[in-house]
Amino acid sequence: MSALSLLIIFFLLPALVVISKNVLWFVYFWQIKEYRIDRVVSYYRFDREYKPKERFEFISKILLVGASVILLLVPFGQLRILIPILTYVLYVIAFQNAVRSIISKGLTRPRIKSIRNILLLTGSFSTAAIALLIGYLIFNNNQQVAANLPELFGGVFSDLTPSQSYAIAYAAYVLVFASIFALLLDLLTFLIVTVFVSLTEPLSQYRRQRLIKKASSIIKRNKTLRIVAVTGSYGKTTTKEMLYQILSKHFITVKTPENKNTEVGVAMTIIDSIKQDTEVFIAEMGAYRKGEIYNSTKIAPPDISIVTAVGDQHLSIFGSVENIFHAKYEIVEGLKS
């Protein structure tokens, strides 16, 4: 391996670690938001709070990209050497912050067992690798720039011999564009992951329909099963857990786990846990738009429906408390006759 290749690896290593951590975080973020654009938009519009370190890093990256473009256009070539220096310092700081975060809180990563998450991670990392390769080939084969390398940096290396001046200028030239590549790739990480979320959506919809169909068929076959559906702006999980503690002493009872209260969450619980001898199924049903709870009641039609409360939770998505009320009331409209 050449000295230049080692220099590039050493230079890009902090940036690549930070970018890799960001890819894992964004895939995890889409996963916990159930790959829903409305929840993601609502989070960034109303709920996201940037810490001072995050603000500093983000603004610094934007300013560095802007400064890099300006420095490449203006005639003051000697200032171009500042691009890789400042970028390296920035990513060393970001790398240190990332390591501290991993040590104190652990590495935040998505569920690897999910096929969709594997596709998102593979696609995102592959895109970064391909972009890096293409960038290297383009800049490495740019003969017009290569012929004027020492002049690109305004005579900074003029005190050296021509061969030394060319070698150092070439290394600086590669590091300048490696800096710009790293900054742009970092800033575009969320967009890259989002593109792959969109590309995998048809696969997710197909899987979703299969799960719902299979769960509906299990419910239809169990003629003696009693279904208790619980919803509300708050208190639904506590109510579900209290009901389970009471009813499980007298009946073979199944409940939706944790806060898995979407259509898919209800369907997966039915598939995984409902047996022919199950007597009671307590299903927590949540929603982020009108029609979702009603769809859940189509999978598991309730014998008893409970609405714990109607409040302003997720108001940014629903738009009004009235919309929230109508969404929650769907659990009553979905009752068996």
* Domains delineated in the chain: 3-199 (no CATH), 214-333 (3.40.1190.10)
**pLDDT bracket for residue 111 (50, 70, 90):** confident
Which residue in this structure is represented by tokens 């999978």?
299
pTM, to two decimals = 0.80
Q: What pLDDT is stored for residue 137 in this prediction?
A: 72
Angle (CA) 232-235-236 rounded to 5° is 55
Residue 313 to residues 124, 238, 318, 324: CA-CA distances in angstroms?
Answer: 33, 16, 9, 8
Share of the chain above pLDDT 90, in %: 47
Whether 12 has a pLDDT exceeding 90, the answer reads: no
Angle between helical axes of 162-187 and 52-73 (0-180°, round to 10)? 130
The whole-angstrom separation of Cα 142 and Cα 259 is 55
The whole-angstrom separation of Cα 300 and Cα 270 is 9
Whether 143 has a pLDDT exceeding 60, the answer reads: no
DSSP 125-143: HHHHHHHHHHHHHHHHT-H
Whether 218 has a pLDDT exceeding 80, the answer reads: yes
Whether 285 has a pLDDT exceeding 90, the answer reads: yes
Q: What pLDDT is stored for residue 149 in this prediction?
A: 53
Q: Which long-range contacts (CB under 8 A, 24 or more apart) does 289-292 make?
A: 289/38, 289/317, 289/318, 289/327, 290/318, 290/323, 290/326, 290/327, 290/330, 291/327, 291/330, 292/262, 292/263, 292/327, 292/330
pLDDT single digits (tens) 31-87: 988 898 888 888 887 777 878 888 888 899 999 998 888 877 776 666 777 888 899
Q: What pLDDT is stored for residue 84 in this prediction?
A: 86
The whole-angstrom separation of Cα 149 and Cα 156 is 11
The whole-angstrom separation of Cα 271 and Cα 284 is 16
* Residue 50 three-state SS: coil
The whole-angstrom separation of Cα 74 and Cα 181 is 20
Cβ atoms within 10 Å of 255's Cβ, excluding its own: 22
Closest CA to 174 of 210, 135, 205, 143: 135
Q: What pLDDT is stored for residue 176 in this prediction?
A: 80
Q: For residue 304, list its beta bridge partners.
A: 228
**pLDDT bracket for residue 140 (50, 70, 90):** low
Whether 187 has a pLDDT exceeding 80, the answer reads: yes
C-beta of residue 285 within 8 angstroms of C-beta of residue 232: no
Whether 150 has a pLDDT exceeding 60, the answer reads: no
Continuous H helices in the chain: 3-32, 37-42, 52-73, 82-105, 115-140, 143-146, 149-152, 162-187, 189-199, 201-221, 236-247, 263-273, 292-299, 315-318, 321-333
Residue 297 to residues 60, 215, 232, 263: CA-CA distances in angstroms?
Answer: 49, 12, 15, 9
- Backbone φ and ψ for 306, nearest 5 degrees, come out as -125, 125
Quote the DSSP letter at residue 158.
Answer: T
C-beta of residue 176 within 8 angstroms of C-beta of residue 149: no
